[in-house]
Amino acid sequence: MAEPVPDSASTQWPDSGAEVSLQPVARLVYASISQVDGPVLQEMRRIRDQALPRNEADGLKVALLHIRGWFVEWIEGPEQAIEALLSRVDRDHRHHSLRVLHRSVGQPRLFRPWIGAIVQSDESMVDVARRVLDLQHRHEADRLPEPASVWLSLCSPPAEAMRSPIGAFPRIMLLSAAGSTAFDLTSWVARETGQPLIRRRFAGAADDAPDVESDYVDLPDIGPAGVRLIANARKGLAMGMTHAFLPDYAAVLVLLGEDDSRNQRLLARLLSACRQVHHVPLIIGAGHGMAIGADLQSLVEKQGYPWQAVDLGSARAGLSATWQAVAPALAMLGREDTAATRPAG
């Protein structure tokens, strides 16, 4: 049996300075209906143990997701190896009705050889089926350019009130240096604005992977195209899944705490992850006077990342005051005159 590859917070950090390659690769996403009887997590681990040695030998990297009775697999690597894997997987009785939703050549995103995740959502299998059919149709008509957009459209489609599709509005990662303020603020904003809060739990499909939660809310009235605010757990920063989606974030809003060394550690981990995937988001640091001092600014800017400080005034600013202070910065994202992202040089 292959050595399990961890996809977890216990992973050595950073990954020996490795970076995702800039060489274009073939990319494919398919969806299929799961036939797994019994615990999905165990079957995902069996699939991983079968897949890892074969995929590594063939130069393939994959992310396999299970959501509401559906498998979604995102594969990157040499085109011939992808096609060989596809025909092997298509014969597997653990699923059926496999549909290719995306084929392209472009920048690789998958950093680890294997990412496995089970998304718990309260939707029905039919809701997901509707989106699979829609994406299949789009694949045949005007296809989405990135596998990440296909994956997100399937698993985390925009709220009805959003005026634009995935990829057209900025995504903002929310992290807190201490406690669960990122999650508290996201829930508070959802309640205040009347927008649905979507809770996603990712059961890590490696033996030592923890469950990680990531909640989000779509805010159609912020900025020209609306924004999505996504609360991430700090331990989630070490996960392959977070790496794969980092390049889709226009900005990372860090809610700083009173402990300066914790703030510095979190920012160092964040920048290290961004560097590994060659992505340069705007880093917004929100804290009270001392926390947003020159030290953090120079830590971030020295590494070539744009920094914006938001002063929360009082050390004990509540959620309402925090939101009042950060919302204007978020509203600027996505405006043409504020290029929030640029390729890493």
Ligand X SMILES: Cc1cc2nc3c(=O)[nH]c(=O)nc-3n(C[C@H](O)[C@H](O)[C@H](O)COP(=O)(O)O)c2cc1C
Shortest distance (Å) from residue 108 CB to ligand X: 15
Can you state the angle between helices 125-140 and 147-155, rounded to 10 degrees? 150
Shortest distance (Å) from residue 91 CB to ligand X: 7
Shortest distance (Å) from residue 243 CB to ligand X: 18
Among 215, 243, 237, CA closest to 228: 215
Residue 55 or 242: the one with the smaller Cβ distance to ligand X is 55
Residue 11 or 32: the one with the smaller Cβ distance to ligand X is 32
Shortest distance (Å) from residue 188 CB to ligand X: 38
37 Cβ neighbours under 8 A, 6+ residues apart: none
343, with CB counted inside 10 A (0-12, 13-18, 19+), is: exposed
Residue 4 or 306: the one with the smaller Cβ distance to ligand X is 4
Residue 205 or 227: the one with the smaller Cβ distance to ligand X is 205
Shortest distance (Å) from residue 87 CB to ligand X: 9
Contact 148, 247 (CB under 8 A): yes
Structure tokens at 278: 């060659």
Residue 116 or 257: the one with the smaller Cβ distance to ligand X is 116
Contact residues for ligand X, defined by CB under 6 A = 47, 50-51, 54-55, 62, 64, 71, 73, 85, 88-89, 92, 94-95
CA-CA distance, 261 to 266, in Å (whole number)?
9
Beta-bridge partner residues of 257: none
